[in-house]
Amino acid sequence: MIHLELSEEIIESHRIYLRKKLPDMISDFKKTWKKQSYTTAHKKFCDWLMGQVNLLGESNYKKSIFLQKPEQFQDTYNYIKNYHPKIIELINAPTKKKKDGTKEKSYSEYMQDALGYKKFCDKTPSPKAGHRYMVGEYKGDADEWCAYAYIMSTGLKVCPYCNRSYITSYYSEKNKVRPDLDHFFPKSIYPFFSMSIYNLVPSCKVCNSSFKGQKDFSFDSYINPYEEAMKDELMKFNYNVSSLTGILGLEEEKLELTIDYDKENEDAKRLKNNNEVFNIELLYQYHRDTVCELLRRQYIFNEEYRGTVLKEYEDLFADEKEMDELLFGLAKDGDTKNTLLGKLRKDIYEEFNSSVGRDVSDRRSYE
């Protein structure tokens, strides 16, 4: 998984949008939803939600449930559990079946609608005639804010969970496509976080639908890509080979791709849990060919040869780092989040550049 950050512009667009849209929707939800012994608790919770919307107009707006950092989600959840226990009860209550066999709309679904998640997803920005929008290009104002605008504004092109699939966003008058938005904390269990910006993670379909689904990512066992503690250094891809031909990248089947975690670090344990849900170690066995390719490149472009290339083409590269990016297919300026397998390539490159890697790749010891 790759660490993500949100820009102030995204926070601001989300803030203005919700402040404008939510008061009427929450007020309707407060009036229309009724269920005997729960109605009072429901009204009280709607008042609390409205307070969170009002907070968006104050100087400490980042404390509102909609903009708070992922590190604050647990405290908010505990608050709701302690002060609005009947709401948790309602969310967890099994839904009844109707006569036609379909399920009744759950309280969680009513709340998601009241917070506008469906509207946010269904809405599409209106492009200027003949215009097409790609990632990083779309700059919607508050009226145009929606899932498309959000994903495009993040500038993300690769799934942050697996770093091995492109997430494509494109919008024009004729066509539109966008990746999934994963609710890190599932919206069915935590509907009050359904429009919290740090709970909305753009991701590929395999990670979101096939692996994660509605799995409850509990607060202390999993790590959100937006958390500050989520550092790329918490894990490292590595490889084992045991023969000269392996070192030369000629025996893919004998190469073992592994993931090393920082053993002392509690956050690394959470990252390991995430990776197990997304089957990262298993899926990366498909990319042993990339490791072999890098090993072969390392053999061919050894230090001496790279020195010659740098001298010969000095006008082409700013420095050795830039040359290595080209020769080894590394992410430009370390931007691993937007480079397919960027983290894998970076780790393998660093491994064979480390003293340990050099010892291992000392081919004479195999000869």
Q: Which residues bind Zn ion (CB under 5 A)?
A: 159, 161-162, 165, 204, 207
Helix (H, G, I), strand (E, B) or coil at 291: helix
CB nearer to Zn ion: give 204 or 268: 204
Q: How far is the CB of 291 from Zn ion (least distance, A)?
A: 19
Which region, left, alpha or beta, applies to residue 333 given φ > 0 means left and ψ of -120 to 50 means alpha?
left
Q: Which residue number, 145 or 284, has a Cβ lying nearer to Zn ion?
A: 284
Q: Among residues 108 and 208, whose Cβ is nearest to Zn ion? A: 208
Q: Which is nearer to Zn ion, 111 or 204 (CB)?
A: 204
Tell the smallest beta-carbon distance from residue 206 to Zn ion (Å).
5
- Smallest Cα–Cα separation from 262: which of 299, 232, 298, 218? 232
Q: How far is the CB of 162 from Zn ion (least distance, A)?
A: 3
Q: How far is the CB of 203 from Zn ion (least distance, A)?
A: 5
Task: For 144, list phi and psi in degrees, rounded to 5.
Answer: -95, 0
Q: How far is CA 51 from CA 19, 20, 124, 157, in A?
A: 11, 14, 29, 36
Whether 115 contacts 131, CB under 8 Å: no
Comparison of 184 and 352: residue with beta carbon closer to Zn ion? 184
Q: Which is nearer to Zn ion, 165 or 353 (CB)?
A: 165
**Phi and psi at residue 220, in whole multiples of 5°?**
-100, 0
Going by C-alpha positions, the residue among 93, 85, 177 that lies closest to residue 135 is: 177
Provide CB contacts within 8 A for 321, sequence distance 6+.
none
DSSP3 helix / strand / coil % (the chain, rounded to 5): 55, 10, 35
Cβ 197 to Zn ion shortest distance, Å: 20
Q: How far is the CB of 276 from Zn ion (least distance, A)?
A: 14
Phi/psi of residue 89, nearest 5 degrees:
-60, -45
Give the shortest CB-137-to-Zn ion separation in angstroms: 23
Of the pair 117, 278, the CB lying nearest Zn ion is at 278
SS3 367: coil
3-class secondary structure, 158: strand
